[in-house]
Amino acid sequence: MTADITIHAAYASVVEDDEEGMLFIGFAQGEEEDEPYALFRQPLAGGPVWFGVNDEDFGAEDAVQSIVQDARGLTVTIRPDQVAQFGWAATIAIRIGPQTEDADIALDALRDMMGPVFAG
- pLDDT digits over 3-60, tens only? 899 999 999 999 999 898 999 999 999 988 889 999 999 999 999 999 999 987 899 9
Instruction: Reduce the DSSP state of residue 3 to 3 states and report it.
Output: coil
- Burial bucket for residue 96 (CB in 10 Å: 0-12, 13-18, 19+): buried
Q: Looking at the DSSP assignment, which residues form a beta bridge with residue 101?
A: 11
- Domain hosting 68: range is 5-119
Residue 120 has pLDDT above 70, yes or no: no
Confidence of residue 1 (pLDDT cuts 50, 70, 90): low
Residue 54 per-residue DSSP state: S
pLDDT for the residue numbered 112: 96
Q: What average pLDDT does range 71-84 have in this prediction?
A: 96
Cβ burial 23-50 (10 Å sphere, 16+ → b, else e): bbbbbbbeeeeeebbbbbbbeeeeeebb
What residue type is 114 in one-letter code?
M
Order of strands, sheet of 22-28, starting from the edge strand that comes earlier in the sequence: 55-61, 50-53, 37-43, 22-28, 5-17, 91-101, 73-78, 64-70, 118-119
pLDDT digits (tens, 9 = 90+) for 80-102: 999 999 999 999 999 999 999 99
| Number of domains present in the structure of the chain | 1
